[in-house]
């Protein structure tokens, strides 16, 4: 139904990055179709990045809306002209109290909700920059400068006429890192001015993903999914879907990689705290990565973004006892491939098994965070790892560490979602529960349910 609506991403505008990005932009045909890897931000941000700019490192970006009349270069073949985005949205959706504080506009939340959604599911932090000095958006030369705190955002949003509302209908386009600027087609007033915030937000979030270095993915036919990064607008879902979040983690890690003021969770001292587990109790995370469809409120995704990632988790018990810890390699199988380059047909899609991207290892550490109590790597790619009946000698805070080794196949997306489930049973006599027989039966039931969640692949 929306087949005439296409969205394209324009080439980067910074000449000194052209060479670095050209191999990705103009990649030669490949025999084994594969999704394009994420070409993430490697510098130029207004905010400092505590872990740097390597794959899987978290990223903080600022965003601003350019003032109307800001020059926007015509990167999709349209005339260069001044931005009219604020005027369009004010006319269509209302201007509230007006003025220069755009956060008071009734349409502001369509942008902020979109940025915040990305911050919920990956190692990304988006901050609104209220200032924008109106420097030119886009173009090869002159280029607009990088983001700067108090001056302009890293991701700058404007809009001007591109190609009307029909025929070759571009809704918006976006620059890849290290630029990220977004241009909406103000000709599409029926979309950006319409009451359907979902369509609006899905366009914004699709473009945001381009601004993070994600390219279009084609996923059709048997086993095909419905992803935000497919070239045509869909309102069948709200925001990033399984494959989209996988790629966000590939570039910027999971949400825990931005914890501890951006230092992540790669050591026991920085472990992600899962809290207390009572005797007979269970704690589990990562469970939203079990299927393709992602609801708008799902946020429970953790991953090993590649071989260099380590994920530490801590948990606290109030007695001596035993734990069972299960790590599951999660993810469905679906078709995915790249879009054809510059009008060429789409290459054939591969069947992509998202549970086979990294061979996971589980290690349990004592309260010092350094003495291993158990290291489990019995299975290979796609297999779960179970640390069973590990004795904890006293009350305290213990640690579980998940690491992985990339799948050595030719596919580049070696990011593995996982689930981590910990079940604790206090030693008989150590627990204040007055009837240990009852507690024991309860514990058996929990162990059975734990096993029932294991994959059979
Ligand atoms: Ca258009
Ligand atoms: Ca991680
Ligand atoms: Ca980590
Ligand atoms: Ca393994």
Q: The CATH number of the domain where 135 resides is what? A: 3.40.390.10
Question: Are 384 and 358 a contacting pair, CB within 8 Å?
Answer: no
Strand 124-128 with 59-65, pairing:
parallel
Ligand 2 centroid from CA 49, angstroms: 17
Ligand 3 centroid from CA 437, angstroms: 40
Calpha distance 114→365 (Å, rounded)? 39
DSSP 12-28: P--HHHHHHHHHHHTPP
Q: Which ligand is nearest to the CA of 416?
A: 2
What confidence score (pLDDT) does residue 342 get?
77
208's tokens: 């945001």
Residues 156 and 261 in one domain: no
Whether the pLDDT of residue 340 is over 80: the answer is: yes
Inside any domain, residue 223:
no
Ligand 1 centroid from CA 112, angstroms: 23
Inside any domain, residue 132:
yes
Element (H, E) at 240: none
Inside any domain, residue 345:
yes
Inside any domain, residue 165:
yes
Ligand 3 centroid from CA 305, angstroms: 8
Ligand 4 centroid from CA 361, angstroms: 5
Question: Are 421 and 455 a contacting pair, CB within 8 Å?
Answer: no
Ligand 2 centroid from CA 164, angstroms: 43
Inside any domain, residue 291:
yes
Ligand 1 centroid from CA 320, angstroms: 65
Domain C-terminal end among 170, 199, 214? 214
Whole-number average pLDDT of the chain: 86
pTM: 0.87
User: Burial, 77: exposed, middle or buried (Cβ in 10 Å; 0-12, 13-18, 19+)?
Assistant: exposed
Lowest mean pLDDT among 55-59, 215-219, 416-420, 442-446: 442-446
Ligand 1 centroid from CA 172, angstroms: 7
DSSP-assigned beta bridge partners for residue 360: 404
Inside any domain, residue 309:
yes
Total count of domains within the chain: 2
Ligand 1 centroid from CA 150, angstroms: 32
What confidence score (pLDDT) does residue 428 get?
75
Q: Which ligand is nearest to the CA of 264?
A: 3
SS3 content of the chain, % helix, strand, coil (to 5): 20, 30, 50
119's tokens: 């911050």
Inside any domain, residue 37:
yes
Q: Which ligand is nearest to the CA of 305?
A: 2
Ligand 2 centroid from CA 376, angstroms: 18
Instruction: Tell me what the mean pLDDT of segment 385-411 comes to.
Output: 97
170-222 confidence digits (pLDDT tens): 999 999 999 999 999 999 999 998 889 999 999 999 999 999 999 999 998 66
Instruction: Tell me what the mean pLDDT of segment 372-395 comes to.
Output: 98
Q: Which ligand is nearest to the CA of 183?
A: 1
Domain C-terminal end among 186, 214, 242? 214
Ligand 3 centroid from CA 125, angstroms: 16
Whether the pLDDT of residue 255 is over 60: the answer is: yes
Calpha distance 145→327 (Å, rounded)? 45
Write the CA distances from 187 to 163, 251, 302, 350, integer angstroms: 7, 33, 40, 37
263-281 confidence digits (pLDDT tens): 999 999 999 999 999 999 9
Q: Compare 194 and 452 and report the one with higher pLDDT.
A: 194
Residues 327 and 429 in one domain: yes
Domain span including residue 77? 5-214
Q: Compare 452 and 331 and report the one with higher pLDDT.
A: 331
Instruction: Tell me what the mean pLDDT of segment 224-245 comes to.
Output: 92
Residues 203 and 286 in one domain: no
Whether the pLDDT of residue 19 is over 90: the answer is: no
Inside any domain, residue 239:
no
Q: Which ligand is nearest to the CA of 327?
A: 4
Ligand 1 centroid from CA 140, angstroms: 22
Ligand 3 centroid from CA 51, angstroms: 11
Ligand 4 centroid from CA 365, angstroms: 18
Q: Which residues surround ligand 4, an ion (CB under 5 A)?
A: 359-360, 377, 379
211's tokens: 């601004």
Residue 207's CB: how many other CB atoms inside 10 A? 25
Q: Give counts: helices (H), strands (E), the chain.
A: 8, 21
Calpha distance 274→315 (Å, rounded)? 5
Q: Is the peptide bond before 178 cis (omega within 30 degrees of 0)?
A: yes
Q: The CATH number of the domain where 285 resides is what? A: 2.60.120.380
Ligand 4 centroid from CA 383, angstroms: 6
């Amino acid at each position: 139904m929306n087949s005439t609506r296409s969205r394209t991403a324009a080439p980067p505008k910074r000449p000194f990055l052209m060479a670095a990005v050209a191999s990705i932009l103009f990649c030669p045909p490949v025999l084994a179709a594969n999704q394009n890897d994420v070409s993430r931000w490697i510098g130029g941000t207004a905010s400092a990045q505590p872990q740097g700019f390597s794959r899987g490192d978290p990223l903080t970006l600022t965003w601003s809306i350019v003032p109307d009349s800001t020059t926007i270069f015509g990167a999709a073949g349209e005339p260069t002209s001044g931005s009219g985005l604020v005027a369009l949205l004010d006319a269509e959706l209302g201007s509230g109290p007006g003025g220069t504080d755009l956060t008071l506009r009734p349409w502001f939340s369509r942008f902020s909700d979109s940025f915040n959604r990305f911050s919920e599911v990956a190692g990304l932090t988006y901050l609104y920059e209220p200032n924008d000095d109106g420097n030119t958006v886009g173009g090869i030369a002159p280029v607009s400068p990088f983001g700067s705190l108090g001056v302009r955002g890293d991701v700058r949003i404007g809009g001007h006429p591109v190609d009307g509302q029909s025929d070759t209908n571009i809704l918006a386009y976006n620059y890849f890192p290290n630029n990220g600027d977004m241009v909406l087609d103000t000709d599409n007033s029926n979309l950006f001015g319409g009451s359907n915030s979902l369509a609006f937000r899905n366009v914004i979030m699709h473009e945001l993903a381009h601004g993070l270095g994600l390219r279009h993915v084609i996923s059709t036919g048997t086993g095909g999914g419905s992803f935000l990064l497919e070239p045509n607008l869909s309102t069948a879902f709200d925001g990033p879907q399984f494959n989209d979040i996988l790629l966000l983690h590939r570039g910027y890690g999971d949400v825990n990689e931005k914890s501890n003021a951006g230092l992540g969770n790669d050591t026991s001292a920085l472990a992600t705290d899962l809290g207390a587990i009572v005797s007979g109790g269970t704690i589990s995370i990562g469970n939203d990565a079990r299927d393709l469809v992602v609801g708008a409120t799902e946020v429970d995704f953790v991953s090993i973004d590649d071989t260099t990632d380590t994920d530490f988790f801590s948990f606290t018990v109030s007695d001596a006892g035993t734990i069972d810890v299960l790590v599951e390699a999660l993810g469905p199988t679906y078709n995915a491939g790249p879009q054809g380059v510059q009008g060429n047909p789409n290459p054939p899609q591969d069947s992509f098994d998202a549970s086979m991207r990294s061979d996971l290892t589980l290690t349990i550490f004592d309260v010092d965070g350094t003495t291993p109590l158990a290291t489990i790597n019995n299975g290979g790619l796609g297999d779960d790892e179970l640390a069973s009946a590990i004795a904890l000698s006293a009350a305290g805070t213990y640690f579980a560490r998940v690491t992985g080794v990339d799948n050595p196949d030719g596919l580049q997306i070696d990011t593995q979602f996982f689930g981590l489930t910990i079940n604790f049973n206090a030693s008989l006599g150590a627990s204040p529960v007055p009837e240990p027989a009852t507690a024991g039966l309860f514990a058996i039931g929990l162990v059975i349910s734990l096993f029932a969640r294991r994959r059979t692949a």
